[in-house]
Amino acid sequence: MMTTFKSFKFLIALAITLTAIPFNSLAKESNSEAEEQFNPTDMIMHHIGDAHGWHFLGSGDNSYTLPLPVILYTEDGVVSFMSSEFHHDIEGEVVVEKDGKRFVNYHETIYQLNAGEEKLSFGEDHYPNNATAPTDLSITKNVAAMFLTVIVMLIFFFSLARHHKKSDKAPKGLNNALEALVLFVRDDIAIPNIGKKKYMKFMPFLLTVFFFIWITNLLGLLPGAANVTGNISVTVALGLFTLILILINGNKDYWAHIFWMPGVPVPVKILLAPIELIGLFIKPIALMIRLFANITAGHIIILSLLGLIFILENVGVAGISVPFALFIMVLELLVAFLQAFIFTMLSALFIGVAVEEHEHH
Amino acid sequence: MDLIKPDFGLFVWQTVVTLILIFLLAKFAWRPILDSIKKREDSINDALDAAEKARLEMQNLKANNEKLLKEAREERDKMLKEAHSIKERMINEASTEAELKASKMISAAQEAIAQEKQAALNEIKQQVAELSIEIAEKVVKKELNSQENHMQLVDNMLADVKLN
């Protein structure tokens, strides 16, 4: 305890000392013309947003980027090429020609230039006015990261399943940890919320969603990783699964409670019906926004803290930013599990309410 | 605004990937894992139940043994008591019998003694009578000369006899 406190004091002292050294003047003189003004919003949006290539290091032509396939569903069929053909350009300047069609990448949206156009031009509203965006089914950075999670999950759980096919004894090592988590989902999420009679039907969904979110969250914390669960499209898809399960499995009692609440006077029934109906959709929407906002917020905080170093153009700020970012990072490890737990738990709760057998009085 | 605007492509991929993942894991991982865990839990529960049953049986057995032991002890005590009473009775019987026999023997002896005594008295009486007759003969032979003497003699002798 004492040592941590001492080292923390040391870090602060170091930070103050470093701040005093005029690094900033040095930096400004050497490359005041070459460097563009640092824009923290662009940096953060670039990190938490999706992209057509998986960017690791560097900028411009010197960046190290894993090229990913771009798959476009145009009016004349599917067109695909590698993202590297844009040469890291996201300003819509590099034109890729495929099957007689021209494509540009403008801020990670792929536009198809109208026939005959050579260059992207913009209208009054700063939107491209000579191009249309085709349906983009590219394997983007997030999709690739999603595949990575899928591979990790398949390896983990096929290994656990292999063990279980061989013996009924408790497994060892990683398999044991995974089994403990499977049991956690079953005993602390599914059974208490859905009930012993019906939980088995929803176990595949709950387990898959729980581990998908958790592993994706953890992988998302790695440097250079994608922000999959912090993307609204991903959480919308996950939330819709919960909604569809509720809609399919809701029993007569559940619908009666929504449209014609028993045990209350008729005017209240009429008043409650629209509220309950909206509630039906609010529940999964809350799930979507909660997961998206929590994960994205965590990434934004870490990036903002680190961005401070570049905004203030002072390396001394790192003495404060880095410990804080590290603290948030550790917190994010907890949040990664917590959000997976909450999403699964609330899904189980909503499903449980929908399938609950009511005793008729 | 890009941040909160769902992207159709990513949405489609997420849906497809999740569906495939659920299907694959459900078929090849979740079912076997959950089934096997259930089987293990059942077997653990069965083992615990069996242990509990065995414990109860042991307890029953022990109680039974104790009961048997207690019964045996009671039986022994009862037998000992019986034996004791039989012994007492036998001793009592034996002593009464002995007493009876002894008294019988005594009375028989007394009777025999009485008979013997009677017989001896009778013999003595006979001998006395014979002796008296002999004496009387001798006296008669000597004193037969006078009537008077004769009578006197008889009287004397009778008197003597009475004295005896």
Mean pLDDT of A59-66: 80
Among A20-29, A241-250, B107-116, name the one with the lowest average pLDDT.
Answer: A20-29
Instruction: State pLDDT tens for residues A90-139.
Output: 888 888 888 888 888 888 888 888 887 888 888 888 888 888 888 999 99
* A177 contacts A194 by C-beta, under 8 angstroms: no
Mean pLDDT of B43-56: 95
Cα–Cα distance for residue pair A133/A121, rounded to 1 Å: 14
Residue A50, chain B, CB below 8 Å: the answer is yes
Q: Residue A30 — very low, low, confident or very high, per pLDDT cuts 50/70/90?
A: very low
At which residue do the structure tokens 């998986």 appear? A54
- Answer yes or no: is pLDDT of A143 > 80: yes
Q: Where are the domains of chain B?
A: 48-163
| Chain-chain contact of B3 with A170 (C-beta, under 8 angstroms) | no
- Answer yes or no: is pLDDT of B96 > 60: yes
Contacts of A158 in chain B (CB under 8 A): 28-29
Dihedral of the CA atoms A82, A87, A89, A90 (nearest 10)? 20
Burial of B114 by CB count in 10 Å (0-12 exposed, 13-18 middle, 19+ buried)?
Answer: exposed
- Answer yes or no: is pLDDT of A61 > 60: yes
Tokens of A104: 């540009």
Q: What ipTM was estimated for this complex? A: 0.84
Interface of A with B in 182-201 (CB under 8 A): 182-183, 186, 200
User: Could you tell me the pTM of the whole model?
Assistant: 0.75
- Answer yes or no: is pLDDT of A76 > 90: no
Q: Residue A45 — very low, low, confident or very high, per pLDDT cuts 50/70/90?
A: confident
Cα separation of the two ends of chain B = 174
| Chain-chain contact of A240 with B15 (C-beta, under 8 angstroms) | yes
The beta strands (E) that lie in chain A are given as 53-57, 64-67, 69-74, 77-82, 96-98, 101-106, 109-113, 131-132, 135-136
Instruction: State pLDDT tens for residues B106-150.
Output: 999 999 999 999 999 998 999 888 888 888 788 767 766 667 777
Contacts of B35 in chain A (CB under 8 A): 164
Q: What are the Cα distances from residue B124, in Å, to B114, B132, B160?
A: 15, 12, 16
Residues A92, A96, A100, CA angle at the centre, nearest 5°?
125
Mean pLDDT of A294-302: 92
Cα–Cα distance for residue pair A95/A98, rounded to 1 Å: 10
Q: What are the Cα distances from residue A265, in Å, to A251, A262, A271, A308?
A: 23, 9, 10, 59
Taking the CA of residue B14 and the nearest CA in chain A, the distance in Å comes to: 6
Q: How many residues does chain B have?
A: 164
Tokens of A18: 């470093």
| Chain-chain contact of A232 with B5 (C-beta, under 8 angstroms) | yes
Per-residue 3-state assignment (H helix, E strand, C coil) for A147-169 = HHHHHHHHHHHHHHHHHHHHCCC
Q: Which pLDDT belongs to residue A36?
A: 63
Residue B163, chain A, CB below 8 Å: the answer is no
| Chain-chain contact of B21 with A150 (C-beta, under 8 angstroms) | yes
Residue A287, chain B, CB below 8 Å: the answer is no
Interface of A with B in 98-127 (CB under 8 A): 107
